[in-house]
Structure 1
Amino acid sequence: MKHTAHYYLLFLLIGVLSVSCKTNGKEDLQKVASTDLWEVDFLDEFDTFNPENWQDQRIWVNDETQCYVPDGEYGTREVSDGTLKLKVKNIETKLTCDNFDKQGNQHPETEYVAGRICSKNRKEFIKGKWTARLKLSSNGEPSMFPAWWLLGAQNNEPPVQEDNENVCWPTTGSGEIDIFEHHGDHMKDEFTTGAIVNLGGCGEGDWQSKRRNFPSTLNEFHDYSVEWDGSDLIYRLDGKEVYRNIGEGDKYPEPMFAILNYAKITDFAMKGEWVMEVDWVKHESKKQS
């Protein structure tokens, strides 16, 4: 009985120490090691919007029907209570949109506005492991298209700020890896993850063969990540492997930056707003042996 009491006290102490490692349900990511193989070299817990980590990205792609606006206009980008909120909003009055597509065409007037940020020329890394903890306010509604993804740092789309940013999507230097996408038009409580295959020319990408859909409770916080393990790209949900692009990792030798955005992709007449809430973003590199 004396030994049993000692074990009980030990387990109780371990439980107390485990709880003490959290503050309001959020782990102190600076102190908690991710694994024996990785170490954190970038972490943003969104106590504020840090321009050393992120910048707005205004571009018209995928025939999106919303306009990306800067500086959180119309409440499309907000940092509060320790999280980032990116939104699509219906402002019910059409406005002139200064977003342009890859051919230089200007987006038509629209009543929908949204937030999109990227770490381009701020935080860029070769390989490693990217993770974001995020949730959606709702899911499965027509036109919803929130995303968490990576793009090669030599990409020639706005903002173009350095001389070597002259490589077209999705060729090497401008490759794409999608960690989390949700297509409300045809799924609920599911997300899409996987690599875009470079078919060798500008604008020539295979969206289908290396991407898959997986279940997730999208209105609850989850960790969505991709990591390079040797030649493979491994996609994880809350640390558990859900998918693997075998041999695709070697096809992304370039530095890559992260993008968080919320888009609207069809003519569905939404009301109010949609929100993607991001608790934190981090990048990890392999520890040196």
Structure 2
Amino acid sequence: MSFKTKEKEAVGVPISESWEIDFQDDFDTFNTENWQDQRIWVNNETHCYVPDNKYGTREVSDGTLKLKVINTGAQKPCDNFDKNGVQHPDTQYVAGRITTKNKHEFIKGKWTARLRLSSNGEPSMFPAWWLLGAENNESPVQEANENVCWPLTGSGEIDIFEHHGDHQKNHYTTGAIKSLGECDKGDWWSLRKGFDVSLNEYHEYSVEWENSDLVYRVDAKEVYRNVGQGDQYPEKMFAILNFAKITDAPMKGEWVMEVAWVKHEFRK
């Protein structure tokens, strides 16, 4: 018996309920076997997601990932399209968005990211760490079964961390999106709750499936629970990290979400 197993027994943790890591990225580099850039226009976002480091919107340095929104100072064409094939208008803002889609997708378990913001509470600011069902039919469609519209089963959404800078400074929201049974119809707020936290300091934000519940934690401490909602997300899900700008409010400097690591675990 290993020392860790003895330690778990000593504190009364059932061995069958221990967690084992099956995916982790510590961002020593940008690993294309783990992530892909995602160019997509959603939520009327006012920036353009760019797929490389031309503007520095997705940077890995000093052991962390930096996702940014940057004001380029001049209107430029954007090659992002929405789900109806409409192209994003010219914009002076560029941003970073990455996903584990078709790289690492898991059924249930526990997802955790350790992250911080360089600044927060600014109008239009919208960084997020979240999950989406692997059969989602939004770009990039890369496999035959990616044909389910949001937020139906197969394309369900769980938001682990979202900061709405328009509302409060050191505050974020967490929770699942409740499907209303039709394409593009979801209840954003009935399963969500907000919490105060020091956003410019590192914290670990996670969601785990605990029997039929979805349990949300900050630094391993439970802050919220969607009772009975875990069974609504039986599908494989992939992770997304992005920093969005969602209104035309003026932007000061650049915004940065810094991510130390991301991992997925399953119960042994």
Instruction: Name the SS of the counterpart of 2:231 in structure 1.
Output: helix
Count of residues in Structure 1 that have an aligned counterpart in Structure 2? 253
Instruction: Name the SS of the counterpart of 1:73 in structure 2.
Output: coil
Instruction: Name the SS of the counterpart of 1:49 in structure 2.
Output: coil
Letter in 2 for 1:178: D
Letter in 1 for 2:233: Y
- Is the 2:214–2:228 Cα contact (8 Å) retained in structure 1? yes
- Segments of structure 1 that go 5 or more residues without pairing to the other structure are 1-34
Letter in 1 for 2:200: N
Q: TM-score, normalization: structure 2?
A: 0.93
Q: Which runs of 4+ in 1 moved over 4 A?
A: none
What does 1:92-171 align with in structure 2 at a 5 Å threshold?
92-171=73-152
Q: Take 1:84 and 1:42, find their aligned partners in 2: how far apart are those partners?
A: 16
Q: Which residue of structure 2 aligns with residue 263 of structure 1?
A: 244
- Is the 1:72–1:115 Cα contact (8 Å) retained in structure 2? no
Q: TM-score, normalization: structure 1?
A: 0.87
**Residue in structure 1 matching 2:156, options 175, 183, 205:** 175
Residue 280 of structure 1 pairs with residue 261 of structure 2: yes
Deviation per CA, 1:210-249: give whole Å up to 9, x if none: 0010011000000000000000000000000000000000
Deviation per CA, 1:177-234: give whole Å up to 9, x if none: 0000000001110110000001101001000100010011000000000000000000
What does 1:1-289 align with in structure 2 at a 5 Å threshold?
37-287=18-268
- Segments of structure 2 that go 5 or more residues without pairing to the other structure are 1-15
Q: Take 2:50 and 2:37, find their aligned partners in 1: how far apart are those partners?
A: 8
Instruction: Name the SS of the counterpart of 1:282 in structure 2.
Output: strand
Letter in 1 for 2:44: D
Larger Rg: 1
- Is the 2:17–2:267 Cα contact (8 Å) retained in structure 1? no
Instruction: Name the SS of the counterpart of 2:223 in structure 1.
Output: strand
Q: Take 1:257 and 1:52, find their aligned partners in 2: how far apart are those partners?
A: 14
Aligned residues: CA RMSD: 0.9
Instruction: Name the SS of the counterpart of 1:200 in structure 2.
Output: strand
Instruction: Name the SS of the counterpart of 1:250 in structure 2.
Output: helix
- Is the 1:151–1:256 Cα contact (8 Å) retained in structure 2? yes
Identity of aligned residues (%): 75
Instruction: Name the SS of the counterpart of 2:139 in structure 1.
Output: coil
Instruction: Name the SS of the counterpart of 2:205 in structure 1.
Output: strand
Instruction: Name the SS of the counterpart of 2:238 in structure 1.
Output: strand
The Cα of 1:36 is off from its aligned counterpart by 5.5
The Cα of 1:73 is off from its aligned counterpart by 2.4
Q: Take 1:147 and 1:78, find their aligned partners in 2: how far apart are those partners?
A: 17
